[in-house]
């Protein structure tokens, strides 16, 4: 069953109208920390959600588990495994508002009667405060699935082993360097059906995962055509998605990326919300797609830049030349405030790279551009 089948006249605009009036407006920007979401957790309606403290982070911040639905289809969804990747968290709270709202009752009743959903809306609250991938112990939780040194990794694995979901959604953010292969478009969302071995074998579990991704892509192509990519399926022996997939829990990786001028990822989150909703509907109703269409989704490429400065003056062996400088916008926390800066990503001939922002920097040097690493 496709999400569109539930909407009046199969009109996605009805859902878009609801979203723009009802998304979780208190969550904006990229700096989302536990103190930001705690009031929202406290006010989740008990008629729909059951909330409990799953455990605590390395720095003793609560990590919450939210449960909704009573159905036999078990789905586990977590966000901010990397603390500086917050788009998925915003989308989850948008989804919470949708599940608690009466506007599309046929959709919510279908989901909540057929599925049991378990959410961990911020797995790495310490990294969120620091705005780092790693937790307070400097551990990348997405590479800690085997050794499970971090307490957060153990909490996630304990939920997996006790809940035993059929499907998992692993929510991440990707850099703006990614574009859709063969196009000048940024990869606004990218998907991955993780490999289970070095050979990247197409197992029955991966086929089921690919079918969900095909379903989400079919919907998104109606909204943001040619801005959906496929993340590399290289096998990582210690990665969470790869290991969960290998254990028999079909795991869909969603990578939130760039949309034009959306450096706060507050446009991308909307499309992320639609993707999640479509993926859940697909699973709830045993919707079938041709898994081979997964391979028709273009690969991510790495040729998108936030700014390209052309005609920048450089000196090589005392000889004055001009070149191009490609910049990626990055963020860091300084005195508790998230600050934005421009970081040099590429220098040289950038004629094969793309951006929305070309700047003629004639008669300027790299140092005069005041880039972070110049």
CATH of domain 3-301: 3.40.630.10
Predicted confidence (pLDDT) per residue in 224-252, tens digit: 999 999 999 999 999 999 999 999 999 99
Confidence at residue 1, expressed as pLDDT on a 0 to 100 scale: 64
Confidence at residue 374, expressed as pLDDT on a 0 to 100 scale: 64
Quote the mean pLDDT of the chain.
96
Confidence at residue 256, expressed as pLDDT on a 0 to 100 scale: 98
Euclidean distance between CA atoms 253 and 273, whole angstroms: 14
Please state at what angle helix 268-284 crosses helix 105-114, rounded to 10 degrees: 60
User: Number of helices and strands (H, E) in the chain?
Assistant: 9, 14
In this structure, how many other beta carbons lie within 10 angstroms of the beta carbon of residue 193? 29
Euclidean distance between CA atoms 223 and 274, whole angstroms: 10
Confidence at residue 102, expressed as pLDDT on a 0 to 100 scale: 82
For residue 204, the Cα-to-chain-centroid distance in whole angstroms is 25
Give pLDDT < 70 ranges for the chain.
1, 374
Confidence at residue 75, expressed as pLDDT on a 0 to 100 scale: 98
All residues at 6 or more sequence positions from 124 whose CB lies less than 8 Å from its CB, including other chains:
57, 80, 81, 82, 83, 135, 141, 152
Pairing relation of β-strands 250-256 and 189-192? Answer: antiparallel
Q: In the chain, which segments carry CATH 3.40.630.10?
A: 3-301
Predicted confidence (pLDDT) per residue in 120-140, tens digit: 999 999 999 999 999 999 999
């Amino acid at each position: 069953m496709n999400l569109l089948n539930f909407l009046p006249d199969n009109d996605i605009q009805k859902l878009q109208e609801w979203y723009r009036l009802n998304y979780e407006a208190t969550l904006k920007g990229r700096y989302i920390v536990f103190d930001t979401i705690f009031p929202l957790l406290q006010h989740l309606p008990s008629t729909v959600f059951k909330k409990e403290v799953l455990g605590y982070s390395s720095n003793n911040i609560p990590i919450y588990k939210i449960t909704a639905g009573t159905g036999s289809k078990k789905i586990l969804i977590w966000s901010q495994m990397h603390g500086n990747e917050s788009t998925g968290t915003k989308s989850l709270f948008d989804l919470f508002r949708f599940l608690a709202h009466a506007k599309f009752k046929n959709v919510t009743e279908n989901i909540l009667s057929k599925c049991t959903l378990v959410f961990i809306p911020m797995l790495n609250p310490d990294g969120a405060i620091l705005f780092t991938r790693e937790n307070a112990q400097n551990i990348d939780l997405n590479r800690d699935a085997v050794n499970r040194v971090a307490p957060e990794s153990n909490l996630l694995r304990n939920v997996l082993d006790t809940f035993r979901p059929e499907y998992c959604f692993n929510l991440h953010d990707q850099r703006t360097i990614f574009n859709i292969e063969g196009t000048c478009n940024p990869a606004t969302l990218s998907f991955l059906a993780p490999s289970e071995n070095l050979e990247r074998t197409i197992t029955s579990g991966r086929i089921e995962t690919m079918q969900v991704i095909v379903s989400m892509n079919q919907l998104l192509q109606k909204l943001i055509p040619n801005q959906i990519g496929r993340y590399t399926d290289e096998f990582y022996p210690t990665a969470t998605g790869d290991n969960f997939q290998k254990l028999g829990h079909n795991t869909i990786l969603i990578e939130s990326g760039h949309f034009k001028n959306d450096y706060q990822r507050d446009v991308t989150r909307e499309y992320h919300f639609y993707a999640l909703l479509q993926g859940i509907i697909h699973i709830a109703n045993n919707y079938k797609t041709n898994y081979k269409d997964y391979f028709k989704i273009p690969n991510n490429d790495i040729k998108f830049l936030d700014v390209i400065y052309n005609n920048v003056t450089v000196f090589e062996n005392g000889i004055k030349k001009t070149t191009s400088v490609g910049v990626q916008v990055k963020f860091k926390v300084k005195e508790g405030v998230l600050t934005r800066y421009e970081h040099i990503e590429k220098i040289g001939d950038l004629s094969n790279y793309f951006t929305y922002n070309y700047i003629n920097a004639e008669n300027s040097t790299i140092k005069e551009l005041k880039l972070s690493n110049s």
